[in-house]
Amino acid sequence: MTYLTKPKFHHPSLPKNALGYTRRDYEGAISTLCAGCGHDSISAAIIEACFELAIEPHRMAKLSGIGCSSKTPTYFLGNSHGFNSVHGRMPSVLTGANLANRELIYLGVSGDGDSASIGFGQFAHAIRRAVRMVYIVENNGVYGLTKGQFSATADRGSKSKRGNVNSDSPIDLVAVALQLGATFVARSFSGDKEQLVPLIKAAIEHEGAAFIDVISPCIAFNNHPGSTKSFDYVRAHNEAVNRLDFVSPRDPITVSYPPGAMELVEQPDGSILALRKLDADYDVHDRLAAMNFLQTHAARGQIVTGLLFLDRAPEDLHDHLDTVATPLNRLGEDELCPGSQALAKINAALR
């Protein structure tokens, strides 16, 4: 059975957000993933982020491809829009939906197989086109759903459960996203909810292409010694450059930090990203330095996590194409059909 509904009753004293919703209102069906799968922790972090941001569920559209990771939207935001597409094709479906209606919040959930193998081209083009979205890759280094083949993000020299050694070079989706112009780039770990929840909140508020690579161990096929995507390996090699606190316009800043150790970045909607620097020299606004830092640390076997790059003035696809602000389903025939005179003018210009 792949779909189990949850009972609807709530305990009356469950905490409520500004809309009067409880966390339960942001949940989905009961997960059928393996107990302990990292992907379930990411679903929990998405639920927490949407609850804390008090997002109206009908404003959210969750899209995915194929894989254990791409199954997860069934397990969160049960009252939101959802589209489970073909393997690797989530980015183009999301792009089309976004072009048709920019008023929704788009959350793309994918796997390392879905985005770095069959969907690599789709991933690249959605990022370079600056589609406003939160793009999460639940990265376990294997094709979990089809029983543990190496994916394109598996490190060279890492071992499969049966001891085979991967001889191919890995694709680092964070490095690719940086190179292609993503305006919000982060890496996190499914086992670090404190780091992940504020990153998801900040990505939702970001007005451009936001990409989060979340290392998410597959306990069935890639959690053994020799894997570089196991819980133990990631814990031992995690190099966090900063920690993020997301402060919504409603909340006062209550935490104080030593001078120089914190940077406050105000967002266009009035929310504030309070960045606690763990590496004093890391500049989150320097794309080239971020690329260099990542490669240097990857060569040492370290996994760099945190908010890795942030463009303070992001643009998105709608700015580039100068599209109409009104969702297409709210335009009337007059606005949708330019008429024969306008058409004749366009045709004449093309002769």
The dihedral built from the CA positions of residue 88, 91, 97 and 103, taken in this order, carries a sign that is: positive
37 contact choice in ligand TPP, ligand SF4, Mg ion, none (CB below 5 to 8 Å, kind-dependent)? ligand SF4
Residue 140 and residue 217 in contact, taking contact as beta carbons nearer than 8 Å: yes
Nearest approach, Cβ of 221 to ligand SF4 (angstroms)? 6
Nearest approach, Cβ of 334 to ligand SF4 (angstroms)? 50
Q: Which is nearer to ligand TPP, 146 or 164 (CB)?
A: 146
Residue whose CB is nearest to Mg ion in the complex, by number: 111
219 contact choice in ligand TPP, ligand SF4, Mg ion, none (CB below 5 to 8 Å, kind-dependent)? ligand SF4
Q: Which stretch binds ligand TPP (CB under 6 A): 123-131, 142-150, 254-262, 332-340?
A: 142-150
The dihedral built from the CA positions of residue 184, 187, 192 and 193, taken in this order, carries a sign that is: positive
220 contact choice in ligand SF4, ligand TPP, Mg ion, none (CB below 5 to 8 Å, kind-dependent)? ligand SF4
Residues 6+ apart with CB under 8 A from 88: 65, 66, 114, 115, 117, 118, 119, 120, 122
From CA 121, how far away is CA 128, in angstroms rounded?
11
Nearest approach, Cβ of 117 to Mg ion (angstroms)? 9
Nearest approach, Cβ of 42 to ligand SF4 (angstroms)? 11
184-189 and 303-310 strand pairing: antiparallel
Looking up tokens 């210009």 gives: 349
Q: Does 112 bind Mg ion (CB under 5 A)?
A: yes
Q: Which is nearer to ligand SF4, 219 or 298 (CB)?
A: 219
Secondary structure element (H or E) that encloses residue 78, with its range: none
Residue 329 and residue 101 in contact, taking contact as beta carbons nearer than 8 Å: yes
From CA 159, how far away is CA 162, in angstroms rounded?
8
In eight-state DSSP terms, residue 300 is T
Residues 129-188 interacting with Mg ion (rule: CB under 5 A):
140, 144
Q: Which is nearer to ligand SF4, 219 or 278 (CB)?
A: 219
Residues near ligand SF4, by CB under 6 A: 33-34, 37, 39, 68, 140, 144-145, 218-221
